[in-house]
Every structure is written in C-alpha cells, then in structure tokens.
Homo-oligomer: A and B are copies of this chain.
Amino acid sequence: MKPLSIITLDQISDALDSIDLLGEMRSAFIAYSSGRSVIPPVGELIIDEQPPGEVHIKYGYVRGGAHYVVKIASGFPRNQELGLPPGNGMMILFDVSNGSISSILLDEGQLTDVRTAAAGALASSVLGVPGARVGIIGTGVQARLQAVHHASALDRDDLMVWGRNLGKCSLLASDLEAHGLKVEIAESAEELAERCRTIVTCTASHTPLLTRPMIQPGTHVTAVGSDTPDKQELDPRILGSADLVVVDSLSQGLVRGEVARSIDAGTITPGRVVELGQILDGSNPGRSDPNHCTVADLTGVAVQDLFIAEAVARSLV
C-alpha cells in the first residue's frame, strides 16, 4: 500500500490553476452516462437543530479506474452570520483494489463549488446559443464561480446578475469587476431573462424565481441551485415547454432538483429527459434550433467529485 497523502486547501487551490476543469467534467459525464460508473444514491443528513445544516455524501467509482471517492459536503447557511463560509467538507480517494486511503483532500467544500461551476459552464457552452450573453441569478459563492467559469468557457466578459438581496448583488458585481469582468445588475429576474439568452440559476430558493412567461425564444437555462427534493428555482412550466431538458444524472433527477419538481407537477415525463453525457458523447444531438428553449438541471454527481479529486491528486504527484 502506498502511504496516504493529505492535501491541504492551499495545495488544492494551486493545483486547480493547472487543471482543465471543463475537460475533467466532460470526461466525468461521459463516463457516467456510458454506464461505466457505479454511483449509489446520495446520502443526506439533515441537521434540524439550531443552527440548521445539511450534509450530502456522494460516492462511487468508474469501472476500470483506480479509485473510489467519498465526498462529504455540508451547508450551514447561518455560518455567514458568524463570519464562517457556509460550505465545508472533504473528499477522500480510496484504492478501488484494496480499500486503502490514497488521498484526503481537505477542500472545505471548495472542490464541490468549483466542479459545480465548471459543470454549469460546460452545460451552457454545449447547450446555449453561441455568443449569447450570460445572466446569473444568485449572489453567493456559486454565483461568483458560475460567472467566472461561464465568462471563461464562453469567452465573453460581460455578464448580467440579479439576486433577491440587492446589497449582496452589488457586492457580487464589485467582486466580479475586480476580477476583470463587466457586470450589469438587472432590476428584476424578468429584466435579466429578457436581456440574456443564457441564464444560470444558483440560489437556495424554495420557490420559482423564473416563470414561464419570462423565458424568451432561444433561451438556455442552467439550473444548479436545487439539489434536494424541496428546493426549486424554475417554474415547472419552463421545463414543460422546453424543447430539450437535460440532467447530469437521470436517476438523481427523478428525486432531486427541477426535473423532480416538474415530474411531480406533471409538466414533463422522465422519458423526455436526456443526460448531459449523452450530448457530450454525441449520442444525442443537443440543441437543434437557435430558437429552441433548453434547460440543464444539474444536481451534482459523485463522478464529478471522483474526476476533480483524481485530477488534483495527480497534479501534485
């Protein structure tokens, strides 16, 4: 057995600079949709104490690979009142041939944030209309990361942002401008939807922020905020009327996120939903008309954690 390596957050941050994140996510989703991966259902621990929190455990492996991953990621929204980041956690790579620990990545939840943003940017770059302006709904850590990864992936540095909290929205805009992006704050979700053909939703909302009438022809929406059965960012009629509905994982999409809510609401059926990996590997053509409306609903899959953790560990060897 090789000795285990403990990888700190500083090492992880350095490693991320040299990793092709969109390439890793592409490989991850293709492996997932090819059926080569073994990904059990997400483990969920709801802490309904004061302060409340939730913990997700995602785990699995890809046949023929070297590791299985266990990823633990938490969200404690009230941490922010204490000056602590809301997210935390770690990823662990184990040798799939004998169960020994290969690497412990003390990422404090940041690799989950980064791989979620990279997956969102990948989905938008594959499904959106080329050249479209990107609008971000949300003002948190994920909104910032989605903005940065979308700007890079779509090679367009002007963005629009909107959030329910105007103060946080201004902070996000300043932050992104300091990062070299041009940012306009929308007055409303409606304005953002009117002026952006690629929209990313990344909030913890429990009620829809975008309704069907707001969506213009030719719009693509990447929704990443809803990762539990009770969160919801999109009006189910948006998915109902979309020309293409894409998920990262069909099995997860049936119980979590926008697709699950839309199936519950009766606006779509599971048979209409396509996996992102099927578009990435060419077995589904994806967007076929610039005027079509498309939705990518990403709840986050352990295979993403496996690929990003392996990439970080590999880059430090």
Contact = CB atoms under 8 A, between A and B. Distances in A.
A72 B92 contact: yes
A76 to B, nearest CB: 5
A155 B297 CA distance: 60
Interface stretch (A23-31, A42-50, A262-270): A42-50
Interface stretch (A58-66, A121-129, A200-208): A58-66
B55 A57 contact: no
Contact of A45 (B38, B87, B90, B97): B38
Contacts of A19: none
Interface in A45-87: 45-47, 49, 51, 53, 55, 57, 59-61, 63, 68, 70, 72, 74-76, 79, 82, 84, 87
Q: How many copies does the complex hold?
A: 2
26 contacts: A38-B45, A38-B46, A38-B47, A40-B45, A43-B59, A47-B61, A47-B96, A49-B63, A51-B97, A51-B98, A53-B97, A53-B99, A55-B59, A57-B57, A72-B92, A72-B94, A74-B94, A74-B99, A75-B99, A76-B98, A79-B99, A84-B98, A87-B99, A88-B94, A88-B98, A90-B101
Interface of A: 1, 4, 6, 38, 40, 43-47, 49, 51, 53, 55, 57, 59-61, 63, 68, 70, 72, 74-76, 79, 82, 84, 87-90, 92, 94, 96-101, 104, 106, 109
